[in-house]
Each structure stands twice: as C-alpha cells, then as structure tokens.
Amino acid sequence: MENFNKLFFHPLFKDTIAEINRLNIQLPPNPSDLEMDFHLDTNPLNGETVSKVEDIKNYKLNEKNGVKLAQSKRTLCAYDESINSYLGLEGTAYLTSHSLIVHYKEEYLPLNYLTFYFYTRAETYSKNSNVIKYSTNIEVDSKKDYVNDRNEFIIQNTPSNSIIFIDGPLFGGDVNFQAFQLNEKLLEKNIIPLFFVKNSYSCMATDHIEELRGKYNSDLHWAYNFLHIGERTNLFKYTDQLNKKDYSKLFFYIKVFNTSPQRVEFHTRTFEKYMDEIPEIFDLIYYLLLVQGDIKNPQIRSISIAEKYARATLKLMNVNQIMKKSGIVPTMNQERFGW
C-alpha cells in the first residue's frame, strides 16, 4: 500500500496552466461543479435487449453476510471523481480530481490524481500550443479524456484480488468501448468491478418487461413501490443490439432506506467469472450502504469517502489565483451564477 496516501498530477498539468497564461486566455474566477453525464440511460431500441435473469420478486439482503465478506481476504476499493469547469470566452477548462480509496486494516488509504485541460474551437490558440486542445465538440472530447484518464488511473492503481465500487454507470454512448476495456483489464487482475447509479430516470425494465410495461414512470418508481427496506429486485440483463458480446450488463435495484432506490450494475463477463461470489457481494453492498447511514443521500460508504477526498483535493488547487495573470473575463452566466 506504499503507493497510497498520495496526490499526483497529470504530466501536462503545469504546462497547460503555463500555456493559458502565455496565450492570455481569460477564465472566470468561479468554477462550476460538473456532474459527468454520458447520456447512459438511453433506452434500448426494442424489448429484446432487456430480459429477466431471475423471477420478478423481492430478494432479501443479509448485512451479516456482508460483514463477513468485508473482513475477508479481498481488498475493498472505491472510485469517485470531482470536476470543476471554467467556462470562458476563449474556451472551457476542466479541473478534475480522480479519487481512489482502499480499505486497509482500520484505515481508508486515498490516492488522488489531478488533471487540467483546456478546450477551444479557436485554432489560433491550439495551433500555437501542444497542450491547448482544439475541439468542435468540447462536451464529447472532454468526456473521452476524462474516461481515458479514469480508466488508466483505476487499472494501474487498484490492487489485484480486490472488489472495486465505481460511482457512475458501466456503459454510455461514445465511451462504451473504453468501458468494456476497463472491465476486461480489471478482470485480468482478479478485480471485481461494480458500478452504482443514483437519480436515474431510466425505463430499461419498465418499458421492456411485459409485466411492468406502462405501469410506472421509471424503473426507480417501480423499484421504490415494489421493494421493502433491505431488499433488492431480481437481476435484469441489458444487451446492446450492435455488439451483443461486449456491451452486455446485468443490473438490479436496491432499497436500503425509505428513499429512492439506486441501480447496481456489472458486466456480464464479471457475473460469469464470479458467479459464486456475487450473492455475497450483494449483501456486502447492503452492509456498506447501512454503514454510511445517510438517509438523504444513501451511497456506498467507500464511494462516499472517495468523494470527500476528491472534493478536498480540488480545493488544494486555487486555479483562480493561478489565473490572475490572465486578466480574467467571465461569460455572463459564469459571472452571475458561477457556472
């Protein structure tokens, strides 16, 4: 665990800041917190891509089994990120803290990785710099860079023979291939990856399972009414029509308190490889959600700790002070609202 309890920077972090200053690029003084949205809840094109893996019924969870697994030889890890965006007249900058924590004995050991990118549609800036990124679609390109950095960070630093809880969905739009690669690399290290989605308005189950179709506003609406506290739904399987082999996942919904459930998902290959361990991992998830004990914002304890380190390390970098030399001129919305 000697690699943990550290904060390190992208190799071009300082170069990017230096180039912004050299080119007199103007950024706003107040960043906005960014939620990375990959439009991942796009519904399948037809019902054949979603199926039931288990009978539709309530499945009781056992937190005591979760405690046993938490104390087993498998290391528990979690990943989350925090992102600040700076919307300027010349382009958009993204400051990201990637955060990985490991349960080690009685401690949470953090490892954080800071990246800083600037994207612009103005070729006059990008042609004069090897770190200023030219982009005609900043939203898409920034997400691709984020995913590539995230995957490399997780793959290189997650200990072998561990379980990792990752905030956010498994697949999404233009980054499906990168998501598949991440899962494959982790499986090679005997790492079990699980992905967590909150506040989703997906209708994958309620639009495409005959027993549920047309009766609920969303999957969460159904799961909230269907589940009692301490239960999960049956497993569902989603398969992408264009790549059934690689882009396939299992998912279920879990209700820990009398609040909105959340979705847990994992790749089909993960399920096939660790089928015998999966039921205990479901109990472990329930236990870690109980340990966190946050009724208003229930999430895995491990992810919550990773999130706190991500936000704290962002605050260490006062980009506003660094940018004072730039003669900052924010856009109107950024000036008024800080976003």
Q: Which segments of 197-292 does DSSP mark as H helices, in order? A: 219-226, 268-273, 278-292
2 versus 286: which is more confidently predicted? 286
Q: What is the pLDDT of residues 104-134, one digit of tens each?
A: 877 889 999 999 999 999 998 888 888 899 9
Written in H, E and C, the secondary structure of 134-166 is ECCCHHHHHHHHHHHHHHHHHHHHCCCCEEEEE
In whole angstroms, give the CA distance from residue 275 to residue 268: 10
Q: What is the pLDDT of residues 55-87, one digit of tens each?
A: 999 999 999 999 988 888 789 999 999 998 888
Cα 73 to Cα 66, 106, 224, 279, distances in angstroms: 13, 14, 34, 17
Q: What is the pLDDT of residues 190-228, one digit of tens each?
A: 999 999 998 788 888 998 888 999 999 999 999 999 999
Q: Residue 283 in contact with residue 65, Cβ under 8 Å? A: yes
Nearest to 61 by CA among 302, 276, 279: 279
Q: What is the pLDDT of residues 249-301, one digit of tens each?
A: 999 999 999 988 999 999 999 999 999 999 999 999 999 999 876 777 778 88
Beta-carbon neighbour count of residue 119 at 10 Å? 22
- How confident is the model at residue 254, as a pLDDT? 96
Q: State the amino acid at position 124 in one-letter form.
A: T
In whole angstroms, give the CA distance from residue 280 to residue 270: 14
**What pTM does this model have?**
0.85
Q: pLDDT band at residue 33, thresholds of 50, 70 and 90? A: low
Does the pLDDT of residue 14 top 90, yes or no? no
CA atoms within 13 A on the CB side of 78: 23
Nearest to 50 by CA among 260, 283, 227, 265: 265
Give the start-to-end residue ranges of the domains of the chain.
6-36+48-337
Nearest to 138 by CA among 81, 80, 86: 86
Nearest to 154 by CA among 179, 171, 173: 179
Provide CB contacts within 8 A for 155, sequence distance 6+.
182, 185, 186, 189
Does the pLDDT of residue 333 top 80, yes or no? no
Nearest to 262 by CA among 220, 227, 307: 220
Q: Which helix (H) or strand (E) holds 60?
A: strand 59-60
